[in-house]
Amino acid sequence: MIFAHSDAPLNVTLLLFPGLSLLSLAATLDPMRGANRVLGRPAYCWKLTSIDGKTPVASCGLPIPVDGAFDSTERQDALILIAAFEAVRYGTPPVLRLLRAGAKRSAIVGGVESAPWLMGMAGLLDGRRATTHWEDLEDFAARFPNVDVQPDRFVVDEPVFTTGGATPALDCLLSLIRARNGYSAALDVASLYIYEEVRTGSDAQPIVSLGRIRKHEPRVAEAIRIMETHIDRPLTIAAIARRVGVSTRALETLFLKIVDASPGTYFVALRLNAARRLVLDTNLPIAEVADRSGFSAIASLSRAFRRQFGAPPSAARRSRV
């Protein structure tokens, strides 16, 4: 058990894939460095690898130096995969064989952001609970019916763990430090980053990061959360106001004050942003994109999409790089 008290050093291999998020890498790696600093000893040892030993380039264009190619014959306590854009394209049969072989020599295998897709393709998540980035949860569940997919920030189901992105990875690593080295150590590491909102794994992944809105105007925060859960089947603003416990007019006033937009305008923008992600990041038919983002027909989506982004969905998809 990796998520259990231990004074032994934890040997970690990070396997990086091209297009990874730099923030996800930092959120996974730096808490281990912070723990070593706080504890005054090398409680965590790591090395960075790529499949072929070549330097992977992060999504921001920054090359990430690695220590070499991933060796599936070496033993490590934890093998952590970090991937983001187009992770599935790297799941070739040779790579999946390497992952399966590496998993046999690891006490635990972790996947950050889109890396759970590679773990799923390798069969490492069958019969396990897992999560991935919130944008992909529905498609992830459809692709891997033998996986118990959770909308959580991170899921630990040893011998695997998965996280939904960068800050969930930070929360997961802090949870690991708390389990192995104590609550005080985890708090001290979190304080290095002035990070106070440490979350549990079972906290749901939000579409919108509400930050201080949640504290200063919880009714607006609650209304936005309701909108998030009804992207595909939008509620009326009056219905949302009733659920929040205010009048429609009061909700209009609150939204204009807090987010500088009416709730109706904000909700449409939320749905259009969801549609744009599906247009640019998937090959779903536009009709299905319209349905998933709560538009009754392709024509209504196209009109709203053009007003918001300057081009219809079909043109946006053709122009993607």
Read out DSSP for 49-104? EESSSS--B-TTS-B---SEE--TTS-EEEEEEEE-TTGGGG--HHHHHHHHHHHH
Contact 42, 33 (CB under 8 A): no
For residue 159, whether the previous peptide bond is cis, meaning omega lies within 30 degrees of 0, is: yes
d(CA 145, CA 320) in angstroms, rounded, equals 30
The pLDDT tens digits of the residues spanning 35-94 come to 999 899 999 999 999 999 999 999 999 999 999 999 999 999 999 999 998 899 999 999
d(CA 188, CA 212) in angstroms, rounded, equals 23
The pLDDT tens digits of the residues spanning 114-161 come to 999 999 999 999 999 999 988 788 889 989 999 999 988 899 999 999
The pLDDT tens digits of the residues spanning 200-217 come to 555 555 555 555 666 678
Average pLDDT, the chain: 90
Name which of 115, 79, 124 is nearest 97 in CA terms. Answer: 124
Identify the band that residue 1 occupies on the pLDDT scale cut at 50, 70 and 90. Answer: confident
Which domains, ranges and CATH numbers included, belong to the chain? 10-192 (3.40.50.880), 213-319 (1.10.10.60)
